[in-house]
Amino acid sequence: MLRFFAPLIAPLVGLAFVAALLIAFAMPRDPVAPLPTASEEKGGFHKEPNDVHYSFEGPLGKYDNQQLQRGFQVYKEVCSACHSMRLVAFRDLEGIGFSKPEVKAIAKNWATETPSINPDTGEPATRKSLPSDFIPGPYANETAARAANNNALPPDMSLLAKAREGGPAYIESIVTGYEDVPAELKKKFPDFTVPTGLHFNPYFANLNIAMPPPLAADGQVTYSDGTVATKKQMATDVSAFLMWAAEPKLNQRHSLGLVVLGYLVIATLLAFGAYRNIWHGKKH
């Protein structure tokens, strides 16, 4: 008897599953209110990221190595004082156009030395960085980082451009978005205050951010290629560099995509030609 019904079990289970899906699809649903946008949640004062144009946007976009090198300079001279990039090695910088000697010099002269062990005593020590080392952070550990930043932990920047909604445009907006509390905000929310040690930034999630304005004025960095270092220029360059850090193979991925697309087009044309050749003159 069991042998007779066994072949029917699988089809019956499948039919039951399909029936359950059809019933669930046909059942009426309670109306669901759309989720509020970030701006609505903050009374309309939270801003969406700026519309920033980058060379790497779109399926044909590519990184601009000159811009990435400028962005690295901003990170090195400004951001690295608080933020680490522990997933990026110095030798990875060859991917944005630096030569091997340049990378070696960058690693050797980095402000923070690489943690090591004294071979004679076995005690913790530091040494000059090598191209094979990951970029050392400014603090020994999380406790030291929080102690130096009013208990706020500066995020690691290795994957920041991919981890934040809005990507590099969000970073550019945060860096350039510091302003005084609008009078309309004070009027609408009389109890709203900026706590001591925080700064008003409408692009940040709760409007108050612990990081002080990193780019205080134009010309804070002197670009080696002669580009005028306005605050917006520096913010755009460093956000582009952080995008590269998070997705360094983007150029290769876009190039491979074009090759695959070309292959598919050619394969489609050949298949159509074969079809016409085989069935040419034959009646259906």
* 161 lies in the same domain as 233: yes
Instruction: Give the range of the structural domain holding residue 59, as residue numbers without chain letter.
Output: 40-84+156-251
In a domain, 160, yes or no: yes
Give the CA count within 13 Å in the CB-facing half-sphere of 150: 9
What's the pLDDT at 31? 53
* Residues 78 and 109 both lie in one domain: no
Do 186 and 220 reside in the same domain of the chain? yes
49 lies in the same domain as 71: yes
* Helix and strand totals (H; E) in the chain: 10, 6
pLDDT the model gives residue 143: 95
CA separation for the pair 168, 244 (Å, rounded):
10
Same domain, yes or no: 106 and 182? no
What is the predicted pLDDT for the residue at 283?
Answer: 59
90, 133 Cβ separation under 8 angstroms: yes
Domain count within the chain: 2
Residues 6 or more apart whose Cβ sits within 8 Å of residue 230: 218
Please check whether residues 192 and 163 belong to one and the same domain: yes
77 and 93 housed in the same domain: no
Residues 77 and 171 reside in one and the same domain: yes
Do 51 and 167 have their domain in common? yes
Residues 220 and 96 in one domain: no
Q: Count how many Cα atoms sit within 13 Å of the Cα of residue 206 in the half-sphere of its side chain.
A: 8
- What is residue 35's predicted lDDT score, i.e. its pLDDT? 38
User: Which CATH number belongs to the domain containing residue 247 in this structure?
Assistant: 1.10.760.10
Looking at the fold, whether 100 and 205 belong to one and the same domain comes out as no
3 lies in a domain? no
Residue 147 lies in a domain: no
Domain membership of residue 33 (yes or no) is: no
Q: List the structure tokens of 83.
A: 């933020």
Q: In this structure, is residue 226 part of a structural domain?
A: yes
pLDDT of res. 37: 43
Q: Is residue 7 assigned to a domain?
A: no
Residues of the chain scoring pLDDT < 70: 1-22, 24-43, 280-284
Q: What angle do CA 188, 189, 194 make, to 5 degrees?
A: 130
Question: What pLDDT does 2 receive?
Answer: 47
- Is the residue at 273 inside a domain? no
pTM: 0.80
pLDDT for 91-101, tens place per residue?
999 999 999 99
